[in-house]
Amino acid sequence: MKMLMIALVTIIVFTSGTFYLSAYSESNQSMMGMDGMNDMCQSMMNSIPKDVIIKAVSSQMVSVGKESTVTLLVVDKETGNPLDDANVILHIEKGGPMEGMDGMNMMDMMGNMFEAENIGYGKYLIKVNVDEKGYHTMHTHAIPQGKSMMSMMNNHMDIGIIAR
C-alpha cells in the first residue's frame, strides 16, 4: 500500500510539474531551459506550507554510514492540533536545497522518495542513512488526511540535517 501511495504521489507531482512547465512555456512563447526549471522549482520549494507546520523536534545531526533517526512534528495550521493522519513523504539530497538539481530531472528526485513512520501525537520518525559528511536537505511533504495528492507541493518544507 505504501509503495502504491508513493508511486501515485510521484505520478501526480511529475504530471503537475509537466503541466506547470507547459503552461509557463506557452505564456512566455518559448521553451523553458534548465535555468527556468530551477527557478520554478526553487520558488515552489521556498514557499511556506499552506495547511501545516512542519518542524524538527529531535537532533538534526546524523552519523555517516549508520542509520540515524530524525523526528518531525506536523501540526494543522488552522487548528494548531497535531496531525496524526498525515502522509509524510521525503527525499534527501546532499547539499543545500536545489544545489544538486543540475543534470537531475523531476523523476530522479521522485524515485528516491520514502515515507516517514507515524509514531503518534503528530510526530513522524524518519530513518536516515547518508554516506557523505556535510549538509543534507530533507525535502519534506505532508499531505493532510482528506486533502488531495496535489496538496503535496503546497505543504513542502526543506529541513537541513548535518552528517558527521
The residues spanned by each domain of the chain are 2-163
CATH architecture of residue range(s) 2-163: Sandwich (2.60)
pTM: 0.69
| pLDDT 10s digits, 53-74 | 999 999 999 999 999 999 999 9
Q: Which residues are bridge partners to 117 per DSSP?
A: 125
Please name the residue ranges forming H helices in the chain: 2-27, 34-45, 106-110
Contacts of 77 (CB under 8 A, 6+ apart): 49, 50, 51, 52, 53
CA dihedral 79, 83, 87, 92 (to 10 degrees): 100
128-150 confidence digits (pLDDT tens): 999 999 999 999 999 999 887 77
Number of H helices, E strands in the chain: 3, 9
